[in-house]
Amino acid sequence: MKKNILLKSIIIFLTFIMYSCGNSKTEKTELVYENGNQKVEIQILNGNDYLEYDKPTETNFVLTNIEINTFSVYGAGIRILETKDGTLKTEIKVPNNYLENDTLNVKVRFGKKTEENYEFNIPMKTAE
């Protein structure tokens, strides 16, 4: 009798663990905005989908079907390095304790009358 209860408990426990592992999601930061044939993609060149406080990180804003001279970007610590072939190369360095929450809000605008607006939310982490 005790073996049956122990065996059932182990089976339930293993089933619970397998179910939990199968349903776990890796949060992926969405760094792409699309509207019809226009697209803005942020590429963080350190290989992560987040930025680190007090660490300058090169980023690219890759524009598809958007005129570079109608594009603007706003956010804490963003420095424009150059524009080339539909790509706005930047460096982002946000000081520690600058943001209220660990999310950098980056606003982009584009179009002839800057009718297109979008806000990216990029996670921030403290360097380890």
Q: For 99-127, what is each residue's pLDDT tens digit?
A: 889 999 999 999 876 567 899 999 999 87
Instruction: Calculate mean pLDDT across residues 25-31.
Output: 58
Give the DSSP H/E element, type plus range, for residue 35. Answer: strand 32-35
Q: What is the pLDDT of residue 18?
A: 53
54: helix, strand or coil: coil
Q: Which pLDDT tens digit goes with each residue over 35-89?
A: 889 999 999 999 889 999 999 999 999 999 999 988 999 999 999 999 998 999 9
pLDDT at residue number 122: 94
Question: How far is the C-alpha of 127 from the C-alpha of 124, rounded, in Å?
Answer: 9
pLDDT at 126: 83
pLDDT of 51: 94
Look-up of token digits 């956010």: 75
Which tokens is 88 given? 């706005």
What is the pTM for the complete model shown?
0.73
CB count within 10 Å of CB 9 equals 10
Place of tokens 């339930």: 12
Residue 108, φ and ψ in degrees, nearest 5: -120, 150
